Amino acid sequence: MNDLNLYPESSTSLWIQNTINGNSGFTLKAKNALYCGASPFQKVEVFDTYRFGRVLCLGGTIVMVENEDTYHEMMVQPAVMMHPKPKKICCIGGGDGGCLRELLKHDCVEEIVIVEIDALVQETIATYFPDYAAGFEDSRVSVVIDDGYTYLASTEHTFDVILVDSYDPGGPVQSLETADFHQVVAKSLGADGIAVFQTDSPITRTGFLRSTIQSVSPFFSCYKPYVCTIRSFPEGFYSFLLCTNSEPVLEMFDQKRYTTIESACTYYNMDIHTGAFLLPQFLKREVYS
């Protein structure tokens, strides 16, 4: 029997390599390349893979995989479960539709503003990821093509939750990594408002979580880092930083709201919510010492 019939993936030589600082990485075998384009901001690519379905790459970095929901669930759900009335949400860098899909699981959410600097990202999603693109047709959703800093600095709107879903530190939107931006985010939140920043891997980018905490601390009286495991990310470990100026929010969890989305999640649940905020010892030292 021909081995290629048993293992069809062995017939391809196309590999996607996602490395961090040139020291470690994640390698994924692809069936074929579906799209390659470039915007003024970055290269945009889509591959069809054996393990994770379709994969979106921006600037040579894997930012979304079709068959894994962990990143977007953990970016969105903890904050939405902790806010007492999460009605107005702003997602900075949400053009891939992943965070949007999570937000639309909640009937209590009335308005979602997606701020995406690169129009080609949303266009690519519309063509190659129809399940993700469907969320943009929801009447609660509006899309702004703009720099996230510029949008928040100029808008008069305030939000209950702001998700800073920047693709990778050091990426095309440098304005999202400054103290000025963190101040603008804080001013754009309403009462009990929560901001979530993705803070990369505390293993492969040691110190980034701590430097982010130092940057946000003048503008937020309370913060809480949390972590998760992501199969498609180099070394499999990722961190986020949840910030607020309302200390009681940090201990909230809406049990009733959770029951409405429980069956729609593949990673996030009540136990994960609690455990995500329990940091391993090396990370506690990094953050608190």
- Active-site residue list: 165
CB 95 within 8 A of CB 27: no
Distances (CA, A) of 238 to 19, 33, 81, 98, 235: 14, 27, 20, 17, 9
CA dihedral 32, 232, 64, 243 (to 10 degrees): -170
Pairing of strands 111-116, 88-92: parallel
CB 72 within 8 A of CB 266: no
- Measured CA to CA, the distance from residue 138 to residue 142 in angstroms comes to 9
Angle, helix 208-216 to helix 179-187, in steps of 10 degrees: 50
- Please report the beta strands in the chain, taking only residues with DSSP state E, as ranges in sequence order: 15-20, 24-38, 43-49, 53-58, 61-65, 88-92, 111-116, 141-145, 159-164, 189-198, 222-229, 237-244
- Measured CA to CA, the distance from residue 199 to residue 6 in angstroms comes to 41
Secondary structure (3-state) at 233: coil
Residues sharing a CB contact under 8 Å with residue 184, sequence separation 6 or more, in sequence order = 149, 152, 153
Q: Nearest-CA neighbor of 105 among 266, 225, 249, 240?
A: 266
Neighbours of 138 (CB within 10 A): 14
